[in-house]
Amino acid sequence: MTEQDRVTVNEPRGPVNNGEGHQYVFYGGADWMIRKGVESLRITREDRVRLADRFVPPVGYRIAADRLEKPGSVVLLKGPPGSGRRAAAIMLLHGFGEDRGTDEEGVRFEELPVTGKDENPLVPGMRDRFLLDLSGIADEETYREAHRRLAARRSQVQEAEAHMVVVLPSGMEHAHPPDLESHTVGLGRPRGIAVVTRYLRMDRMPFRPADLGSADLQHLCDRSPMRELARLAGLVRDARDSGRFGADFAGWLDQAIHAVTDRAGEVGRQVATIRAAPERALLLATAMFEEARADVVYQSWRGLLKTVRYEEEVTTELGRTDFGERLVGLGVERGPDGRLRFERLAYGDAVRTYFWANFPGVRDDLRDWIGHAAGLPDLTTDDRMNVVVRFSERALATGRPDHLFDLVARWANRGTGAPCDPRAVAALELGLGHERFGGWFRKRMYECVVRSGSLPEGLARVLTTACVQSLSGTHPDQAVVRLHYLAVRKGEAAHQAREALLDLVGRDRRLYRLLIDRLRDRTLREPHGTDPHLQLLTALLRSDLAPDPPPWPDLFLGWEAVFSQPPTELWNPLVSSWLNAVAGDSARKKALDVMVRATRGHTAALHRLYAIAYGWAGTARHPSRAAVAALFWQHIDHMQYGRTERTEAGPRTAEEAR
User: What's the rounded Cα separation, in Å, for the pair 340 and 332?
Assistant: 7
Q: What is the pLDDT of residues 148-174, one digit of tens each?
A: 899 999 999 999 999 999 999 998 888
Please answer whether residues 40 and 14 qualify as being in contact, where contact means their C-beta atoms are separated by less than 8 angstroms. no
At 523 the pLDDT is 87
- The reported pLDDT for the residue numbered 454 is 86
Distance CA 530, CA 570 (A): 9
Distance separating alpha carbons of residues 245 and 257, to the nearest angstrom:
13
- Give the separation between CA 445 and CA 539, rounded to whole angstroms: 25
Sign of torsion over alpha carbons 365, 349, 377, 298? positive
Q: What is the pLDDT of residue 641?
A: 80
Q: Is 552 left (phi over 0), alpha (psi -120 to 50) or beta?
A: alpha
Give the Cα separation of 569 and 524 in Å (integer): 18
Residue 436, pLDDT score: 86
pTM for this prediction? 0.87
pLDDT digits (tens, 9 = 90+) for 352-373: 999 999 999 999 999 999 999 9
* d(C-alpha 506, C-alpha 107), whole Å: 16
Q: Are strands 163-167 and 74-78 parallel, antiparallel or unpaired?
A: parallel
* Pairing mode, strands 129-133 and 109-111: parallel
Q: How far is CA 138 from CA 113, 226, 238, 436, in A?
A: 16, 21, 35, 11
Is the Cβ–Cβ distance between 26 and 7 less than 8 Å? yes
Alpha-carbon gap, residue 256 to 168, rounded angstroms? 32
Report the alpha-carbon distance of residue 179 to residue 128 in Å, rounded.
24
Q: Which residues lie below 8 Å from residue 56, measured CB to CB, with a gap of 6+?
A: 84, 190, 191, 194, 195, 198
* Residues in the chain with pLDDT values less than 70: 1-42, 97-106, 116, 118, 314-319, 415-418, 527-530, 619-621, 642-658
**Which residues, 6 or more positions from 77, have their beta carbon under 8 angstroms from its beta carbon?**
64, 85, 88, 89, 165, 166, 167, 168, 184, 185, 187
Q: Where are the alpha helices (DSSP H) in 161-273?
A: 192-202, 215-223, 226-242, 249-261, 263-273
- Are 3 and 489 in contact, with CB atoms under 8 Å apart? no
Residues 6+ apart with CB under 8 A from 450: 485
- C-alpha count within 13 angstroms, C-beta hemisphere, residue 99: 19
Q: 71 φ, ψ to 5°?
A: -55, 135
Peptide bond into 419 cis (omega under 30): no
